């Protein structure tokens, strides 16, 4: 058991610990060994204190079960505050910054018994300027971003769970590139107090794990939502295949993968139909950019006015575009979101879940870009729940994911549908 403890799922670990067959200390030490072995290459961790992690594990082992994550380690993206670990947002402006309090989501999982393993690498302020993290499947490739370290750490078996965030495509994209399950819940599912705000209309705390059950478990602990009943099966969900207005930006492997997944579901008796939306739905992509830039210009006002020289050129330019955006343009973008949101309410009348690409293709080569959020930022902007599921390999042998999207607050049914789909695809 102990030798492969770092590979088991969070749900299994919690069960083993609750049954007295595994200690939190054994599990945490196995994860730390894996990190020691691998992190010089992967560089997923911004802050890690072995003694602090082990001390938390021992405290769990000494105390009665506190909750559903008792003794289970979790990585926390370094834009989320921790009272006992520095939080630097991958910006020299905040080097060694030590928050006074835990973010709400960190406090919630501590209450559920989790061990806060350490802080995972993020792009600068969860924007575009890359983290040093590498894709564990091929160190020459980006792991995606902005939750680069969270996705890579989970993919590389350093930790079974991690918090990320998503303002454009920051949870789903790195999860797809690293071959893990990524879940961006419905907007306003997990409380954001203690998150370094990027764009408050968009920022969403996301989750990385290696199974659908695990992201659901973490979401339940962090949000107070009940756990979906994965054991109980209903009828197969009705799937809408949504190619998006940007289908031409996908590579052949991605298009083939989507077709193959649809085909295998159909052969398993599922209904898979094409989901078409009015062409005006394309406006939501530009709306995301407008909203993000406008809100970032406000939220990073202090950093820009006092430390512009310590910001990346990319972020500086984005803030400047935001300052050049008028309030009227911003409000028009919000109106577009409401209009397109209504189209998706209609779309979900005839299907339960949408099947759509997680990314244009595999993780790009190199570390200078974290890839494209084109297949994610529309969902973030609409506030709809999304899950990416690893479903194959691309031409260079890197993971490919497919994305599943549910209606507003339909997270429970979405997670059940993706879990069922994963079981069909695993046959």
Which of 331, 341, 363 shows the shortest CA–CA distance to 139?
Answer: 363
Q: Which of 24, 77, 119, 184 is catalytic?
A: 77
Within 8 A by CB and 6+ apart from 242, the residues are 275, 277, 347, 354, 355, 356, 405
Residue 331 binds to a second copy (criterion: CB under 8 A):
yes
Structure tokens at 353: 């879940």
Q: Which of 170, 201, 299, 358 is catalytic?
A: 170
- Nearer Cβ to a second copy (107/402): 107
Q: Which of 146, 147, 148, 358 is catalytic?
A: 146
- CB of 377 vs a second copy, minimal distance in Å: 19
Which of 385, 389, 394, 391 shows the shortest CA–CA distance to 412?
Answer: 385
Residue 121 binds to a second copy (criterion: CB under 8 A):
no
- Nearer Cβ to a second copy (44/108): 108
Structure tokens at 281: 């739905």
Structure tokens at 141: 């490739």
Select the residue interacting with a second copy from 26, 90, 123, 223 (CB under 8 A).
223
CA distance 325 to 292: 11
Residue 104 binds to a second copy (criterion: CB under 8 A):
yes
- Measured at the CA of 171, the angle between CA 165 and CA 174, to 5 degrees, comes to 135
Question: Residue 77 catalytic?
Answer: yes
Residue 25 binds to a second copy (criterion: CB under 8 A):
no
Structure tokens at 4: 């492969």
- CB of 233 vs a second copy, minimal distance in Å: 23
Helix (H) or strand (E) holding 402: strand 399-405
Select the residue interacting with a second copy from 97, 255, 264, 321 (CB under 8 A).
97
Select the residue interacting with a second copy from 25, 214, 303, 362 (CB under 8 A).
303
Residues 279, 204, 138, 425: is their CA dihedral positive or negative? negative
Select the residue interacting with a second copy from 306, 317, 369, 395 (CB under 8 A).
306
Structure tokens at 379: 């969902």
Within 8 A by CB and 6+ apart from 324, the residues are none
CA gyration radius, the chain = 20
Residue 316 binds to a second copy (criterion: CB under 8 A):
no
- CB of 106 vs a second copy, minimal distance in Å: 8
Q: Give the number of residues in contact with a second copy, rule: CB under 8 A.
A: 40
Do residues 292 and 168 lie in contact, with contact meaning Cβ atoms separated by under 8 Å? yes
Select the residue interacting with a second copy from 16, 295, 352, 362 (CB under 8 A).
295
**Per CB under 8 A, which region of 71-79, 159-167, 303-311, 341-349 contacts a second copy?**
303-311
Select the residue interacting with a second copy from 18, 52, 55, 197 (CB under 8 A).
197
- CB of 344 vs a second copy, minimal distance in Å: 16
Do residues 183 and 157 lie in contact, with contact meaning Cβ atoms separated by under 8 Å? no
- Nearer Cβ to a second copy (10/109): 109
Residue 298 binds to a second copy (criterion: CB under 8 A):
yes
**Per CB under 8 A, which region of 143-151, 159-167, 196-204, 349-357 contacts a second copy?**
196-204
CA distance 123 to 145: 6
Residue 64 binds to a second copy (criterion: CB under 8 A):
no
Residue 235 binds to a second copy (criterion: CB under 8 A):
no
- List, as one string, the DSSP characters of 85-118: S---TT-GGGTT---SS--HHHHHHHHTT-EEEE
- Nearer Cβ to a second copy (42/107): 107
Select the residue interacting with a second copy from 1, 92, 200, 259 (CB under 8 A).
200
Which positions from 130 through 169 interact with a second copy, judged by CB under 8 A?
none
Select the residue interacting with a second copy from 29, 34, 110, 318 (CB under 8 A).
110
Residue 194 binds to a second copy (criterion: CB under 8 A):
yes
CA distance 221 to 217: 6
Residue 192 binds to a second copy (criterion: CB under 8 A):
yes
Do residues 25 and 73 lie in contact, with contact meaning Cβ atoms separated by under 8 Å? no
- Measured at the CA of 190, the angle between CA 156 and CA 13, to 5 degrees, comes to 40
Question: Residue 146 catalytic?
Answer: yes
Helix (H, G, I), strand (E, B) or coil at 47: strand
Residue 60 binds to a second copy (criterion: CB under 8 A):
no
Q: Are strands 204-209 and 161-166 parallel, antiparallel or unpaired?
A: antiparallel
Residue 395 binds to a second copy (criterion: CB under 8 A):
no
Residue 108 binds to a second copy (criterion: CB under 8 A):
yes
Centre a 10 Å sphere on the Cβ of residue 94 and count the other Cβ atoms it contains. Answer: 20
> What residues make contact with a second copy under the rule CB under 8 A?
83, 94, 97, 100-104, 106-108, 110-111, 188, 191-194, 197, 200-201, 223-226, 294-295, 298-303, 305-306, 326-327, 330-331, 409
Known catalytic residues are: 77, 146, 170
């Amino acid at each position: 058991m102990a030798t492969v403890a770092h590979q088991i799922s969070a749900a299994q670990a919690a069960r083993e610990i609750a049954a007295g067959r595994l200690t939190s200390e054994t599990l945490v030490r196995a994860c730390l060994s894996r990190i020691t072995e691998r992190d010089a290459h992967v560089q997923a961790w911004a802050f890690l204190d072995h003694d602090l992690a082990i001390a938390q594990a021992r405290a769990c082992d000494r105390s009665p079960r506190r909750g559903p994550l008792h003794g289970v380690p979790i990585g926390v993206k370094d834009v989320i505050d921790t009272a006992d670990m520095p939080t630097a947002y991958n910006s020299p402006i905040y080097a060694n910054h030590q928050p006074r309090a835990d973010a709400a989501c960190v406090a919630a999982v501590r209450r559920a018994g989790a061990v806060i393993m350490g802080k995972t690498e993020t792009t600068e302020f969860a924007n575009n300027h890359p983290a040093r993290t590498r894709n564990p499947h091929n160190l020459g490739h980006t792991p995606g971003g902005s939750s680069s370290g969270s996705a890579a750490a989970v993919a590389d078996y350093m930790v079974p769970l991690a918090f990320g965030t998503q303002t454009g495509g920051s949870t789903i994209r790195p999860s797809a590139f690293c071959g893990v399950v990524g879940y961006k819940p419905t907007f306003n599912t997990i409380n954001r107090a203690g998150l370094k705000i990027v764009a408050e209309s968009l920022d969403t705390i996301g989750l990385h794990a290696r199974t659908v059950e695990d992201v659901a478990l973490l979401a339940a602990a962090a949000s107070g939502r009940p756990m979906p009943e994965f054991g109980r099966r209903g009828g197969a969900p009705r799937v809408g295949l949504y190619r998006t207005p940007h289908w031409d930006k996908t590579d052949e492997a991605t298009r083939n993968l989507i077709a193959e997944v649809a085909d295998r579901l159909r052969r398993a008796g599922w209904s898979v139909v094409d989901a078409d939306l009015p062409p005006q739905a394309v406006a939501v992509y530009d709306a995301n950019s407008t909203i993000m830039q406008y809100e970032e210009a406000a939220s990073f006002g202090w950093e820009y006015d006092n430390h512009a020289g310590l910001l990346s050129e990319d972020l500086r330019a984005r803030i400047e575009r935001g300052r050049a955006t008028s309030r009227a343009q911003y409000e028009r973008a919000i109106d577009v979101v409401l209009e397109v949101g209504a189209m998706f309410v209609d779309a979900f009348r005839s299907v339960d879940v949408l099947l759509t690409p997680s990314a244009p293709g595999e993780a790009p080569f190199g570390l200078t870009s974290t890839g494209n959020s084109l297949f994610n930022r529309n969902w973030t902007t609409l506030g709809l729940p999304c899950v990416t599921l690893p479903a194959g390999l691309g031409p260079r042998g890197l993971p490919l994911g497919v994305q599943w999207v549910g209606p507003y607050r339909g997270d429970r049914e979405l997670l059940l549908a993706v879990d069922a789909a994963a079981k069909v695809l695993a046959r």
